[in-house]
A and B are shown apart, each in its own frame.
Chain A
Amino acid sequence: MAEKLIPITLKVNGKEYKVEVKPNETLLFVLRNKLNIKSVKGTCYRGECGVCTVLLNGKPVKSCLVLAAEADGAEIITLEGLAPFGTLAPIQKAFIEHGAFQCGFCTPGFILTAHWLLTNKPDATEEEIKEVLSGLICRCTGYKQIIEAIKAAAKYYKQDKQKQ
């Protein structure tokens, strides 16, 4: 079957991209291979590990289970979008300070998920943090440092919320 190319527009980290995609290309594939955004990675390709997490219209989703064509017109934030000018976001600093990664492979998914949680719920309890992280897999840290980093970063998000 000759596959028709579908023209789509994606706003990734504030920048607009016009790309042509095949129907069977996932958002993960297009971000990595057509837009060259390499923080988004694929491992299980079936929605289990969360390494491919991006924020799609403000919500954390696993981009291996999103067709690029489905995302036409969407706003997407990847890890790169949290530090657009090279200055790390508080959640990124907290991950470094608490040693919340070793190999770093899964880290983008964890940081984006934590950023989403704290933006919406800066007073999230440890139980709520654990619940939200349950769809992500880290094989190095044992999660403890990740949870500590998220709890530590919460104060910056609370301050941000008070300023608004």
Chain B
Amino acid sequence: MAASKSVLVFHTLLPEFEYFRPKTLQEALELLDKYKGDARILAGGTDLLVDMRMRIKQPKYVIDIKGIDELHTLKYEEGKGLTIGATVTLDELLNNKIVKEKYYVLWDAIRQLADTHLRMKATLVGNICNASPAADSAPALLVLKAKVNIASVNGTRTVEIKDFFKWVKKTILEPNEMVTSIFIPEPPEGAKGRYLKFVRSAEDLALVGIAALVANPKDPAKRIVRIALSSVAPTPVIVEEVEELFKQDKPLSELAEEAVKLVMSKVSPITDVRATKELREHMVEFGTRYLLKTLLEG
């Protein structure tokens, strides 16, 4: 069904499909259960419509979920966390005070994701469901230990974001399942974060993207350091060993260098049209060191 990517065919029109705009989640889930792999969920459409134009995806049925009110939740509960519904746009998150203040690493990633125009439509849930290895929001969600809420006609389940991605553009979602929201727990007290994105031009995909989260750097017992990356493996990855490494009572500069080596050993970037493997490895090394230095000292 996927068109051969080696042949460049320029289509200005989308392939034919049937369009549904359900008003309730139940209705959407029933449609998804009926049509399964022949159906696609449409939220922002900034990835789906491009893939359809390129004939990479040719769904027979498109289920537009923007008419479902309950999927447009954006709710913060103090001490618990933030729930972001499937149709909440990146622009809405960028303009949200809580996201900027409490979840800065995510805000920083969204700020650098695509461009102003696309962020008006694109959604956070769409960004992870598209499952690009270069998904900018994924490293931030990984260091924040986000959870993905999934629904089907058979019920609901919740998975850790680190278990959500399976391969390039593949997630653990069954054909009759959809993501209804992302939940991000309250970040560690005093946590600071940043997303460093290497690009060729403003609207480019990440050549390498690195998210870092640091809390209580001076106190080994309470110290939390997390690093996650995009565009360095078939899926976005978190280097979980970094958090354990930083529990040691050693000078921070020493730990930071060990962390850089550890991160380097856990990534496997490839050479493609946008950058070589070697350049990406250099970016991982430089970027990880730079982020750790900036956040540990601050």
Residues of A within 8 A of B202 (CB): 131, 134-135
Task: Select from chain A the residue with minimum beta-carbon distance to B51.
Answer: A46
Q: How far is the CA of A135 from the CA of B60 in the complex (A)?
A: 30
**Chain B: interface residue total (CB-CB under 8 A):** 32
| CA distance in complex: A56, B21 (Å) | 19
A19 lies within 8 A of chain B by Cβ? no
Task: Please tell me if the beta carbons of A59 and B62 are within 8 angstroms of each other in the complex.
Answer: no
A53-B117, A60-B117 as given contacts; A65 in contact with B16, CB under 8 Å: no
Number of A-B contacts (CB under 8 A): 91
Q: Which residues of B are found within 8 Å of A45, using beta-carbon distances?
A: 11-12, 53
- In residues 24-49 of chain A, which contact B (Cβ within 8 Å)? 24-26, 29, 42, 45-48
Q: Is A160 an interface residue (CB 8 A)?
A: no
Among listed A1-9, A80-88, A144-152, interface-contacting one: A1-9
Is A50 part of the contact surface with B, judged by Cβ < 8 Å? yes
Among the listed A23, A26, A134, which residue makes an inter-chain contact with B115, where contact means beta carbons less than 8 Å apart? A134
Q: Is the interface of B mostly helix, strand, loop or mixed?
A: loop
Which residues from B are CB-within-8-Å of A131? 116, 202
Tell me if A115 counts as interface (CB < 8 A to partner B): no
Q: Which residues does chain B contribute within 8 Å of A3, judged by CB atoms?
A: 16, 18
Quick check: A50 and B117 within 8 Å, CB to CB?
Answer: yes
**A132 contacts the other chain (CB 8 A):** yes
Tell me the chain B residues, 95-134 only, with Cβ under 8 Å from chain A: 114-118, 120-121
Bound: A134/B50 CA distance, A: 19
Partner of B19, one of A6, A26, A113, A136: A6
Bound-state Cα–Cα, A124 to B95, Å: 16
B18 nearest in chain A by CB position: A23
B-side contacts of A50, CB under 8 Å: 115, 117
- A46 B21 Cβ-Cβ under 8 A: no
In the assembly, what is the distance between CA of A99 and CA of B50, in Å? 33
Contacting residue for B46 out of A23, A24, A65, CB 8 A:
A65
Q: In angstroms, how far is the closest chain B Cβ from the Cβ of A137?
A: 9
Query: Interface size (A, Cβ < 8 Å)?
Result: 34
How far apart are the CA atoms of A143 and B114 in the complex, in Å? 19
A120-156 to B contact mask, C-beta < 8 Å, 1/0:
0000000000011011100000000000000000000
How many angstroms from the CA of A111 to the CA of B117 in the assembled complex? 14
Contact indicator B116/A69 (Cβ below 8 Å): no
Q: B17 near A23 (CB under 8 angstroms)?
A: yes
Once the chains are docked, how many angstroms separate the CA of A65 from the CA of B18?
A: 17
A26 to B11, CA, bound (A): 13
A69 touching B19 in the complex, CB below 8 Å, given contacts A1-B60, A45-B53, A47-B46: yes
**Residues of A48-68 contacting chain B, CB below 8 A:** 48, 50, 53, 56, 59-62, 64-67
B120 touches A60 (CB 8 A): yes
- Please name 10 pairs of A and B residues whose Cβ atoms are closer than 8 Å in the assembled complex, sorted by A: A23-B17, A23-B19, A24-B13, A26-B49, A47-B118, A60-B116, A62-B118, A65-B118, A69-B64, A134-B202
A residues lining the B interface (CB < 8 Å): 1, 3-4, 6, 22-26, 29, 42, 45-48, 50, 53, 56, 59-62, 64-67, 69-70, 113, 131-132, 134-136
A67-B62, A70-B45, A131-B116 given. 19 additional CB < 8 A pairs? A1-B16, A4-B18, A24-B13, A25-B14, A45-B11, A59-B91, A59-B120, A61-B120, A61-B121, A62-B118, A64-B49, A66-B121, A67-B49, A70-B42, A131-B202, A132-B116, A134-B115, A134-B201, A135-B117
